[in-house]
Amino acid sequence: MSTVNPKTVRPIFPFTAIVGQEEMKLALILNVIDPKIGGVMIMGDRGTGKSTTIRAIVDLLPEVPVVANDPFNSHPFDIDLMSDQVKEAIENKQELTTSHIKVPMVDLPLGATEDRLCGTIDIEKALTDGVKSFEPGLLAKANRGLLYVDEVNLLDDHLVDILLDSAASGWNTVEREGISIRHPARFVLVGSGNPEEGELRPQLLDRFGMHAEIRTVKDPELRVKIVEERSKFDQDPKLCIKENQANQELLRQQIITAQEKLPHVTIDYDLRVKISEVCSELDVDGLRGDIVTNRAAKAFTAYQKRDQVTIEDIKTIITLSLRHRLRKDPLESIDSGQKVLKTFEKIFADYI
């Protein structure tokens, strides 16, 4: 499978060639395996490869089947991933043409309006012709793909609310002058930002399934390796892509296998109780932390080609799932990630 987008003819840096930033890479992979984890917020320094990594994970994924010429990327067989128009066509026994597309990747610009995000209804056409005319927005284009918001902490809170509501419900509804249109909007929401430019409100941050922190690499040898990989790609993108083709295909197959295995992964009741004990001890509001930690642990287990969640699986993902849900205490010297791990070790002491 080519890693060059034919529309832009712009090569995309191979995901398997990205050095370091393991937290971010793991969070993205787990969200691709199980989109119900709820997306990922990536906070870190500028120039740490956030955008490059997000584009690379999308380019790595296999193509998905869609109903040809459907503006919402409707699935031809899965009723939960179909627009109402496609469902109606199937009920009327109309024959649908199927095609395959790359997993959609949509960038939300900071200056986007609500109409650009959600889509618009042509009221004049509706009133004069009695026809619902809808111009799809970015949420429609992102259905069954990834929606990426760079500098999400600078985005208008109202738009962030819409994004998070659509990501959670899987649907986007546009209402105007008594006319209502809805369409599927199932996507992995990926936000990134620099903490120096301000944090998201806690109630919005909590809505992201996972939170990855990335920092500028300090190890000189690792920095040299990162620069070498990037230079190699800039000088000859095709050669770099070819050299990483085997690793890319291996990871692609690993993700596909994990997606298929996920429904069969189980987690013992005792471990689920312990996860909830950790959330309770950390004073995490609501049950989102419990749910995401369980989902992420299962996704990681499937990624490891196993059927039963272990304590090590939970330990690997629990910081990603909970660090952003803790209440900030300015007098506390320990950071939220360390606090999550210490609490995990305390609660799971009998098992470790």
Condensed to tens digits (0 to 9), the pLDDT of residues 35-91 reads 889 889 988 777 667 778 888 888 888 888 888 888 888 888 888 788 878 888 888
pLDDT digits (tens, 9 = 90+) for 106-150: 888 888 888 888 888 776 665 565 556 778 889 988 888 899 988
pLDDT value for 144:
87
pLDDT value for 123:
65
Residues 280 and 135 in one domain: no
Residues 159 and 276 in one domain: no
Burial of 137 (0-12, 13-18, 19+ CB in 10 A): buried
Residue 262 Ramachandran class (φ > 0 left, ψ -120 to 50 alpha, else beta) = alpha
How far CA 94 is from CA of 78, 85, 228, 276, in Å, comes to 16, 11, 54, 49
* Interatomic CA distance for residues 319 and 314, integer angstroms: 9
Residues 118 and 180 in one domain: yes
Mean pLDDT of 244-262: 92
Q: Reply yes or no on whether the pLDDT at 230 is more than 90.
A: no
pTM given for the model: 0.85
Question: Looking at the annotation, which residues are catalytic?
Answer: 288
Q: Among 147, 182, 214, where does a domain finish?
A: 214
93 within some domain: no
User: Residue 284 maps to which CATH number?
Assistant: 1.10.8.80
pLDDT value for 1:
47
Burial of 7 (0-12, 13-18, 19+ CB in 10 A): exposed
252 within some domain: no
Total domains in the fold of the chain: 2
User: Residue 157 maps to which CATH number?
Assistant: 3.40.50.300
339 within some domain: yes
157 within some domain: yes
Q: Among 149, 180, 214, where does a domain finish?
A: 214
Mean pLDDT of 163-175: 83
Q: Where are the alpha helices (DSSP H) in 236-287?
A: 237-243, 245-261, 269-281
pLDDT digits (tens, 9 = 90+) for 279-333: 999 998 888 899 999 999 999 999 999 999 999 999 999 999 999 888 776 556 5
Residues 51 and 171 in one domain: yes
Q: Which range of residues forms the domain containing residue 270?
A: 263-347
Pair of tokens at residue 22: 């393991």
